[in-house]
């Protein structure tokens, strides 16, 4: 069995922050990722390649074994409903918070509020935990618009600096979860390619400890 390792990485900010971490363990794409249109990046290591894919697709690739490893935000992993992977390392990159937020100066306590979010499972679980009924409105981005236009009462979204909330007249209400990016590993690959994968995890853990 070949010990080739494919790593599926969320494109965008996670990819940008993951590249320096991978470079620290001497895994470097052959082509310049900023200029390349390739979706599979070969690296300086013959047995390691990187897929650059949408955040929400990373768990699917890893759970189904199309990639042995993945790097995805905890937000995406909490929202994804599957258990075909291990989550051995918190990489400490792309840190932010999942927050409930609403319009400034508006009453926070509402009976059955309408919540706009792309994180429908996380939102449902959060409110179910304390038995509150909500109406969830699924959006795919720019959630901050929904309360302004009366589409929803509140939102559940990621917040880092808080500037996006502030710029749109919103305030944070509650922190639902701390978010950072995690390494995930296909369960079967952990057994079948254990030498290569365990070595990869160890090296990555070492550079993260040094970074902290």
**8 A C-beta contact, residue 7 and residue 68:** yes
* Residues whose CB is less than 8 angstroms from the CB of residue 76 and which lie 6 or more positions away in sequence, other chains included: 10, 55, 56, 58, 59
Q: How far is the CB of 153 from ligand PRP (least distance, A)?
A: 18
157-187 CB burial, b ≥16 within 10 A, e <16 = bbbeeeebbeebebeeeeebeebbbbbbbbe
* Pick 171 or 190: Cβ nearer ligand ATP: 171
19 counts as binding ligand ATP under rule CB under 6 A: no
Contact characters 15-54, ligand PRP, x per CB under 6 A: ----------------------------------------
Question: Of ligand PRP, ligand ATP, none, which one sits near residue 102, judging by CB under 5 to 8 A according to partner kind?
Answer: none
* Pick 10 or 117: Cβ nearer ligand ATP: 10
Read off the tokens for 15. 């990819």
Read off the tokens for 179. 């978010």
**8 A C-beta contact, residue 43 and residue 150:** no
161 counts as binding ligand PRP under rule CB under 6 A: yes
* Residues whose CB is less than 8 angstroms from the CB of residue 104 and which lie 6 or more positions away in sequence, other chains included: 169, 170, 171
Q: How far is the CB of 10 from ligand PRP (least distance, A)?
A: 11
Stretch that binds ligand PRP, among 31-39, 71-79, 81-89, 158-166 (CB under 6 A): 158-166
Question: Of ligand ATP, ligand PRP, none, which one sits near residue 55, judging by CB under 5 to 8 A according to partner kind?
Answer: ligand ATP
Of the candidate residues 31, 160, 178, 202, the single one contacting ligand ATP (CB under 6 A): 160
* Residues whose CB is less than 8 angstroms from the CB of residue 129 and which lie 6 or more positions away in sequence, other chains included: none
Of the candidate residues 96, 100, 101, 116, the single one contacting ligand ATP (CB under 6 A): 96
Q: How far apart are CA 63 and CA 78, in angstroms?
A: 14
Where along the sequence are the contacts to ligand ATP (CB under 6 A)? 10, 12-14, 54-56, 73, 75-76, 94-96, 158, 160, 179
């Amino acid at each position: 069995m070949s010990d080739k390792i494919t790593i599926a990485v969320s494109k965008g900010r996670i990819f940008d922050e993951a590249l320096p971490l991978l470079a620290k363990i001497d895994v470097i794409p052959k082509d310049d990722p900023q200029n390349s249109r390739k979706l599979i990046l070969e690296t300086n290591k013959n047995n390691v390649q990187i897929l650059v894919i949408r955040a929400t697709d990373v768990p699917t690739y890893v759970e189904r074994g199309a990639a042995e490893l993945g790097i995805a935000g905890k937000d995406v992993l909490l929202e994804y409903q599957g258990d075909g992977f291990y989550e051995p390392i918190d990489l400490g990159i792309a840190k932010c918070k999942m927050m409930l937020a609403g319009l400034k100066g508006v009453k926070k306590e509402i009976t059955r509020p309408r919540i706009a979010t792309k994180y429908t499972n996380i939102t449902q679980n959060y409110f179910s935990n304390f038995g509150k009924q909500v109406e969830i409105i699924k959006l795919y981005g720019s959630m901050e618009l929904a309360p302004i236009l009366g589409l929803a009462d509140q939102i559940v979204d990621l917040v880092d600096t808080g500037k996006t909330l502030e710029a749109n007249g919103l305030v944070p209400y509650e922190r639902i979860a701390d978010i950072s990016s995690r390494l995930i590993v296909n369960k079967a690959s952990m057994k079948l390619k254990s030498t290569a994968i365990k070595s990869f995890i160890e090296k990555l853990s070492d550079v993260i400890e040094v970074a902290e």
